[in-house]
Structures are given as C-alpha cells and as structure tokens.
Chain A
Amino acid sequence: DVKVTQSSRYLVKRTGEKVFLECVQDMDHENMFWYRQDPGLGLRLIYFSYDVKMKEKGDIPEGYSVSREKKERFSLILESASTNQTSMYLCASNVAGGPYEQYFGPGTRLTVT
C-alpha cells in the first residue's frame, strides 16, 4: 500500500513564526504536491515537485516555499506565518508520465494565532 505521511496532524503557531510541514512517501514516486484545503474552495495547489531539487509554483505560492532534497521527502515552509495561512494542508504524490492517481497524506491542520 502506498503510504504518504505528514509530520503533524495538528499544529498551532504564532504570527511571524517560521513553520515547516514535512511529507514523506514510501512508493518512490517522482511527483510530490502540496495543497491547501479551505471550505468551499476545494484543494488548491501551492507547489509541486517533479524531481529532487526541482519545483514548480502552483496556483497560490505566495507566502510559501518548498524544499525537496530527497526523493521521498517534500517540505512546505511558511517563512513568516500569518493568520490567513490558517488552513488544512495536504501532501500528495504520484508517479511520473501521467496523469495518474495522486495519493494523499492525512493532512495537517495549521492554526496561526
């Protein structure tokens, strides 16, 4: 079974803090994705990566950065957290050469106060 794990299920941070969200997949997938999920807006793509050290901006990259130093790990970084970044963050992965099914992690509920 494909497994995508995220470092935290719930996270509470203060405004201005630097926040790291980590995602690990165990199926040797080339592609990894970070989404933000808000009620009524569905899932919106923040960044995706198609290879180690490679990244592409999604629809809402402002205020976020990413890092992919190893194939199995994809990190989302909030350089200076703001209250409007309070949301559910979902990581996903899939194989290259698609389009193919994306496998999602359980999500991280981030609250910025």
Chain B
Amino acid sequence: GAVVSQHPSWVICKSGTSVKIECRSLDFQATTMFWYRQFPKQSLMLMATSNEGSKATYEQGVEKDKFLINHASLTLSTLTVTSAHPEDSSFYICSARAVPGLNTEAFFGQGTRLTVV
C-alpha cells in the first residue's frame, strides 16, 4: 500500500531553537498533505493543510509564522517549528491520500515526537 514517511521520529531540542520535520510520500504524488498535532490523551488536531506550490492553509489558532510549512514538490512537505517552547512539545503527524477522494484511505507518517527542554 501507499507509504508516507516522516522524519525524524523523535527529537529533543532546546527552547528557542527551530526544528524541521519532513513528510514524504514514497510511492505516490500528493498535491495536498495535512499536518496534525496530538497532545497526550487528546485527539489529533488539524494544524494546517499543505498545498503543493502554494501557501498552506492554517486552522484557527495555529500561528503560521511559528509553524512554517513548505510543500515544494509533489512528494515532500516540511513543517518547521520556529523558536520552539516547552508548550510546543507534542506528537506531530502528517497525512496524505494516494488517491484523491472522500472515501479513499488516508495514510499517515510515523509521527514525530517533539520534546522542547
């Protein structure tokens, strides 16, 4: 089946530094990818929709200048957490559909566990 690869799987960084997370579709092209964040015992919350070749669409309450999204190619989207703070510590996960459509399966990357110290 379709595979979405996310890297790194975990990262620990110092407060104030930036962290880049990559999401790749390995065997399909994805014009749209989605970035989610999940805090412990909470649901996956959509942060933004990444669109190839155009600006990302951010959900209400998500700071676009803090969470920079770049979707430079049909197989790669990156999320950069800038000036990270401890409250940004969370599980970040990307998703894409190999076949566009409402009823098609969405595939997820393995997720990135970010810890800001």
B is a partner of A: no
Q: Which residues of A contact B (CB under 8 A)?
A: none
Q: Which residues of B contact A (CB under 8 A)?
A: none
